[in-house]
Amino acid sequence: MFVAKPFQARSSVAGSVMLRLAIGLVVMCVFAGCGKKDETATTEPAATGPGASQTAAPPVSAVSAQVAAMGEDQLRAAASSALREQRLYAPSGNNAMEYYLALRDKAPNDAAIASALTDLMPYALIATEQSIGRDDFTEAQRLYALMEKADPKAPALPRLKQSIADGQVAVAKRDADAATKSEEDAKRQADLEKQRLADQQKAQQAAAQQLATQQAADQQAATQRAADERAAAQRAAAAAAARPATPSAAATPSPATSAPQTASASTELRAISTPAPRYPPDAFRSGTQGEVQVEFTVATDGSVSGARVVRANPPRVFDREALAAVKRWRFQPVASPVTTRRTIGFNPGG
């Protein structure tokens, strides 16, 4: 009698909270009844379904060791406070349902405690289903453990247990599928990279082969040009050698352009060697002809120095070859240097 009075005073607080939950309890009771009806149709197949081997949830302690260690009066006060603050089933280790379960272990015949737990069951049921819906199976198992400890024969327990197991299987499958897809994507990416490198290598090989072919063609063309130039030079030299000596072709003095010379025999120029100039290959191929007037000085030993172009037609086509040829000319020694002019003709037709 001495213990019952304080419990009744404390339980009145719980009763006032229960009044606010009355409407919800009616709905939950109806829902629980429907759930019980469904269990007869779903419990047996679930035991033999594909996930039957994974339907057993890992054991979860419904009441934390810290709560279980609390005294009876302390538990009553904590449970009432949790109800007032609407901590019906969470957070773990500090909720009304857990306090009442620990209190029931200490006072198993207290009807008020049993009633409070019965009132809290529907809310734990809804919270469990919500946790399953968002794939929070750790929280779902904790709430399931609270419900199972509160009423091991509750009709909704088998369905919740199966839902948790099925949800875990579905999440595991989804994760496995995602991992498989990631592996397939990685393999596909690797194959694409491998193909890209192969295509790049083929393109480079084709480009290298094309470059080699082009270089070979360029080399062959250069060799042919060089051969053509040598042949042209040889033809020009042969034509110049076969041409009769004329003032223009044999590099004899032009009467109209020769510089005044001393009448003395000691200064008379007598050619010893006047090799013909080389015919420029480009001019030869294009059939260009012309003439170059060169002024030069014959030293006392008969060598040529100080050669320069006085007139050229066309300009800068035959100048270099004309000067080069004149500088190779040799004359008989003279008493003193003699400056003169000669006109050199270029005719590809001989």
CATH code 3.30.2420.10 region(s) in the chain: 265-346
The residues, ordered by sequence, that sit 6+ positions from 132 with a Cβ below 8 Å of its Cβ are 140, 160, 163, 164, 167
Rounded-to-integer distance, Cα 205 and Cα 207, Å: 5
- Asked whether the beta carbons of 128 and 144 are under 8 A apart, the reply is yes
Rounded-to-integer distance, Cα 188 and Cα 193, Å: 9
Give 62's DSSP letter.
Answer: S
| Highest-pLDDT range among 18-22, 219-223, 319-323 | 319-323
Q: What is the pLDDT of residues 76-132, one digit of tens each?
A: 999 999 999 999 999 999 999 999 999 999 999 999 999 999 999 999 999 999 999
Rounded-to-integer distance, Cα 19 and Cα 251, Å: 138
Q: How far is CA 152 from the centre of its chain?
A: 59
What top-level class would CATH report for the domain 265-346?
alpha beta
Q: What is the pLDDT of residues 162-184, one digit of tens each?
A: 999 999 999 999 999 999 999 99
The residues, ordered by sequence, that sit 6+ positions from 97 with a Cβ below 8 Å of its Cβ are 88, 89, 117, 120, 124, 146, 150
Q: What is the pLDDT of residues 223-254, one digit of tens each?
A: 888 888 887 777 777 766 666 444 344 444 44
Question: Element (H or E) spanning 336, and its range?
Answer: none
Lowest mean pLDDT among 33-42, 216-225, 236-245, 281-290: 33-42
Instruction: Give the global pTM.
Output: 0.41
